Amino acid sequence: MRSAFLAGCITLVLPGLAASGHDVVQAWTAWRSAQVVTRETRAVAEAMRASAALMLERGELQAQGLAVTPDFEILARGAAATDLALAHTRSALLEAGASTALINQTQEILSATRIRAMEVVRNRASFRAPSEQFARLIESLDAEMSRAERAITLASPSTGVLVGLARGSNDLRAIAGRRGQLLSLWTGGQGVSPAQKDELLILTGRLAGAWDRIQRGIAAARPTPGLVEAVKITEKRFFVQEEPWYRELAKTAVAGAEPPLSHAQYRRWTKIALGLLVPVREALISEASAQGEGAVSAALRRMLVSLGLALLSVCLVMAAVVVLLRGLVDPVRRITAATAALANGNITASKPVGSRLTEVAAMEAAVAVFRNNLVSLHERETELRGTNLRFGAALENMSQGLTMYDAREHLTVFNRRFCEIVGLPPDRIKIGMTFREVVALSVEAGNFPGQSAEQAYADRQGFISRLDASGQHDELTGERAIAVRYQPMTGAGWVSTYEDVTERRAAEACIAHMAHHDGLTGLANRVLFREEMDRALIRAKRGDSLAVLCLDLDRFKAVNDTLGHSVGDTLLKSVAERLRGCMRDTDILARLGGDEFVILQVAGDQPVGATALARRIIETIGSPFDLDGHRVDIGTSIGIAVAPDDGIEADGLLKSADMALYQAKGDGRGAFRFFEAGMNAKMQLRRGLEIHLRQALGRGEFAVHFQPLVELEAGEVSGFEALLRWDHPTRGQVPPDQFIPLAEELGLIGSIGAWVLREACAAAAAWPAPLSVAVNLSPVQFRNRQLVLDVVGALGASGLAPSRLELEITETAMLFDTDATLATLRQLKELGVRIAMDDFGTGYSSLSYLRKFPFDKIKIDRTFVRDLSVTEGSLAIIRAVTRLAADLGMVTTAEGVETHEQLATLRAQGCTQAQGYLFSQARPANEALGLVRSIGRSMKDVA
């Protein structure tokens, strides 16, 4: 009976209670929404007013920034207005229920904007080029204002249509402000860039479109008469009266014409014009506020009515619920106990006994535990997922390959780099494969050359079985070198890293090769040669013999000087190839530097083997080289030392071979010499001579003597040949054939030759004309471009006429770089200096030289004169040379005339001049004029 009654009550009351509750909820929601909209409307209004104040201050900032003297009072008033707007904005945001973070962010942005503005103006006086720097600061300020407006908008996402239109009007004012900024730059004399001109045209179009959208939105929002009137006023005053003038001003700026008004006039006018857009925004805000307040009142009335009906229904229902709850207590208790057990993870636990918690509280606690467990589980899952992502990224971006195996040798982890290094496609490797299977695939890919899969697996197992905390290293070989490191893991299993060290091994091999080989020729260098020599000398100490051959190329420096170092390098490589062809496979060839080579001839019968090798080398190197179209003729000199006869120490043998080399070069080059005991003393003597020669010129030990040149037909002295003499302080007179080649080798001949020129010209200048002086030039002097300047300097310093100077060159000077030598000779010839070919008929005679250059004189070498009475060939050569010279209009001078018979023969063959001991030895300059008179008398007596 009671149940039926309760059921009937509930059946009748519950629908009404539900309807009342629904009405209360809807009324409450509408009331809260209306309040939120109202507060947000006020917040947005204040924010837009603050933004507008900032925009005005920004405009004033630009005007003051462009001014020569900023007006800080105007800026202070603008700052105060901005501060007030910022305070209103903060209050409105708080009332609208915006978050504290958003309020602070907005306040910070707006405040920073105002501070930035003041800093810009304060620093304006320090700008030297204000236009560019000031424009960047203004753009930064605009960016801060845009951030502030976006932040304010986020605080009011639910404002209505009218507030949205108010925002649109503020945007309209921002567009007009930006256009005003560009025009302000123009009227301020800052100029407008092409990009800013395009922006002016775009802003003008955007302004019209924005106003059109605002008008349509207002019409759709059923505006009040006041709002309609504000729109009409703005349309008339701004868009009808002011906007056409703005458009014309923009067109003028785009066209690049001069502004029709001053910057100050433009600022006053544009401030008034922009103020015309304010009424429509304020009218929109007022309309939105009025609508919001009306909505709040209506929602409040509806909520109160619905709440009264709901309370009545609740009272009736509560009476029925109290009765029903008594029958629900036990089930609720059992549910609570079961839920608590599940929350604790115990599904078999019995219900709690003596619990002081109410059933509802226990149920809430159990639900809370469930929630906490779920949250903890989700957090752990998220953390694990992040860890896995980081691990995967690190694994796939490693420069090394990596694999992990568990205790059963099953693959648990591998990365892409491992597959690349071992040369396996990623789809061939699978998680769970055994180590044996992975090794088999690696062998199949070409790793572990020379091993089967079982052998490779067994070897790797050996590494793994010996793993300790320090790990083990392995290396795969083949076309690529792969370094493998096995490291045990805590518990069981191991991790392997794979690194491709092919390039490293190649670099190490290259470095090792470079450390032991010559970079140009690829031959062994001094280091490797010494190592090989030390090993060979160990065998020599047991009775084996070996020979060390030191080689030096003859005339190599001339090739470098005349044809260039690139041709010289090519020549060295060609020499190395020829030397390899002369040797046996067991011999060692090395380049010690420059044009110095050394050969270690091991085994063989010495010195027979070294002699045969030296002859082959001299013959081979003596053959001409064809290098890039250049024919090069060189030779080589060789010094040989034999072990154990000449020593069993490496340094001693090399020194002995080097001394033998110097002996070979001193004997005329193109020869080989074995080391002899006396060579050490000769080397020391030569070394002492070399040291003294470097000091001889500075110490005044040189002297120039003069040997007369006699005209055979007239029987008179026509001139003298200047001959250099060295009076050594301890050795006495040193023969020229000993120190001249040494001076050439040491590079001293240039300075010595220039000194001889100056001394000879100075002496000849004191002789009566037309006595001349002849000076010998070394071939080495022709490689120095200073030669012509030395001659000019000597003539200028002495005052000697160029026609009284004769320069003698040998045929050797024409061997290398003939074109350069001929060019130098022509320059000397143009000075008026006479040129003579000395020692004609010896060495590398070539009649083409006489054709290429008009020599003034040919000097017949003393060897032909000496053999006149011995061989008919010498007489025939002298006869041919004199006739050739006569036909070419050249003078002939015979050297080394010592007897009257020789003089008579030369005169009969038509020789022009003669010199030799028959007339006089070379004498000092102060005796020259006496020789002229004495020789003249003696020649008359002979005639």
Average pLDDT on 479-508 reads 80
Average pLDDT on 332-336 reads 60
pLDDT in tens, 899-908: 999 898 999 8
Average pLDDT on 208-236 reads 71
CA distances to 287, 812, 813, 852 from 818, in Å: 107, 10, 8, 10
Residue 105 binned pLDDT confidence (cut-offs 50, 70, 90): low
Average pLDDT on 543-551 reads 87
Q: Which of 150-159, 387-396, 750-759, 858-867 bottoms out in mean pLDDT, i.e. has the lowest?
A: 150-159
Other CB atoms within 10 Å distance of the CB of residue 14: 14
As a dihedral over the C-alpha atoms of residue 267, residue 269, residue 273, residue 275, rounded to 10 degrees, the angle is 60
Rg of the chain, C-alpha, whole Å: 57
pLDDT in tens, 693-706: 888 888 888 999 99
> Both tokens of residue 429?
């490797």
Long-range contacts of 500-506 (CB under 8 A, 24+ apart): 500/421, 501/475, 505/481
* Residue 553, φ and ψ in degrees, nearest 5: -75, 135
The per-residue pLDDT for 100 is: 65
Residue 549 binned pLDDT confidence (cut-offs 50, 70, 90): very high
Which of 27-36, 285-294, 362-371, 757-766 is predicted most confidently? 757-766
pLDDT of 135 above 70: no
The per-residue pLDDT for 173 is: 67
pLDDT in tens, 707-736: 999 999 888 999 999 999 999 888 888 888
Higher pLDDT, 216 or 921: 921
Q: How many CA atoms lie within 13 A of 821 on its CB side?
A: 25
The per-residue pLDDT for 451 is: 83
ω into 741 cis (within 30 of 0): no
Other CB atoms within 10 Å distance of the CB of residue 361: 12
Q: Which helix (H) or strand (E) holds 119?
A: helix 100-122
What residues contact residue 546 under an 8 Å CB cut-off, 6+ apart?
Answer: 536, 537, 539, 540, 600, 601, 602, 603, 606, 642, 643
pLDDT of 896 above 70: yes
Higher pLDDT, 379 or 285: 379
Alpha helices for 626-702 (secondary structure H): 650-666, 679-699
For residues 747 and 784, is the Cβ–Cβ distance under 8 A?
A: no
For residues 432 and 410, is the Cβ–Cβ distance under 8 A?
A: yes
Residue 556 binned pLDDT confidence (cut-offs 50, 70, 90): confident
Higher pLDDT, 690 or 672: 672
Task: Give percent above pLDDT 90 in the chain.
Answer: 17
The string of DSSP codes covering 364-411 is HHHHHHHHHHHHHHHHHHHHHHHHHHHHHHHHHT-SSEEEEE-TT-BE
The per-residue pLDDT for 351 is: 47
For residues 781 and 558, is the Cβ–Cβ distance under 8 A?
A: no
Q: Which helix (H) or strand (E) holds 50?
A: helix 2-66
For residues 414 and 402, is the Cβ–Cβ distance under 8 A?
A: yes
**Pair type for strands 857-860 and 891-894:** parallel
Give the max Cα distance, the chain. 187
Residue 357 binned pLDDT confidence (cut-offs 50, 70, 90): very low
pLDDT of 258 above 70: yes
The per-residue pLDDT for 363 is: 58
pLDDT in tens, 33-72: 666 666 656 665 665 665 566 556 555 555 555 554 555 5
Residue 347 binned pLDDT confidence (cut-offs 50, 70, 90): very low
The per-residue pLDDT for 422 is: 80
The per-residue pLDDT for 306 is: 65
Long-range contacts of 848-855 (CB under 8 A, 24+ apart): 849/811, 849/814, 850/884, 850/888, 850/890, 852/818, 852/822, 853/822, 853/825, 853/826, 854/829, 854/888, 855/890
The per-residue pLDDT for 417 is: 85
The number of residues making up the chain comes to: 943
The per-residue pLDDT for 400 is: 81
Nearest CA to 109 among 62, 143, 60? 143
Q: Compute the distance between CA of residue 362 and CA of residue 368 in angstroms, rounded to an integer.
A: 10
Q: Which residues pair with 156 in a beta bridge?
A: none
Residue 354 binned pLDDT confidence (cut-offs 50, 70, 90): very low
**Pair type for strands 635-643 and 672-674:** parallel
- 684-715: buried (b, 16+ CB within 10 Å) or exposed (e) per residue? eebeebeebbeebeeeebbebbbbbbbbbeeb
Alpha helices for 700-840 (secondary structure H): 736-746, 749-765, 787-798, 818-831
Average pLDDT on 737-742 reads 83
What residues contact residue 244 under an 8 Å CB cut-off, 6+ apart?
Answer: none
Which of 47-61, 137-151, 224-238 is predicted most confidently? 224-238
pLDDT of 636 above 60: yes
Strand, helix or coil at 775?
A: strand
Q: Compute the distance between CA of residue 659 and CA of residue 662 in angstroms, rounded to an integer.
A: 5
The per-residue pLDDT for 293 is: 66
pLDDT of 228 above 80: no
Higher pLDDT, 275 or 503: 503
Strand, helix or coil at 506?
A: helix
What residues contact residue 771 under an 8 Å CB cut-off, 6+ apart?
Answer: 717, 718, 719, 720, 764, 804, 932
Q: Compute the distance between CA of residue 280 and CA of residue 288 in angstroms, rounded to an integer.
A: 12
Place of tokens 């044009």: 595
Higher pLDDT, 701 or 350: 701
Residue 128 binned pLDDT confidence (cut-offs 50, 70, 90): very low
pLDDT of 376 above 90: no
Other CB atoms within 10 Å distance of the CB of residue 805: 25
For residues 799 and 760, is the Cβ–Cβ distance under 8 A?
A: no
pLDDT in tens, 563-603: 888 888 999 999 999 999 999 888 999 998 888 999 998 86
Average pLDDT on 424-445 reads 87
Residue 299 binned pLDDT confidence (cut-offs 50, 70, 90): low
Q: What is the mean pLDDT of the chain?
A: 76
Q: Which helix (H) or strand (E) holds 435?
A: helix 435-444
> Both tokens of residue 289?
């506020």
* Residue 713, φ and ψ in degrees, nearest 5: -75, -45
> Both tokens of residue 450?
């020379």
The per-residue pLDDT for 917 is: 92
Place of tokens 């004399």: 189
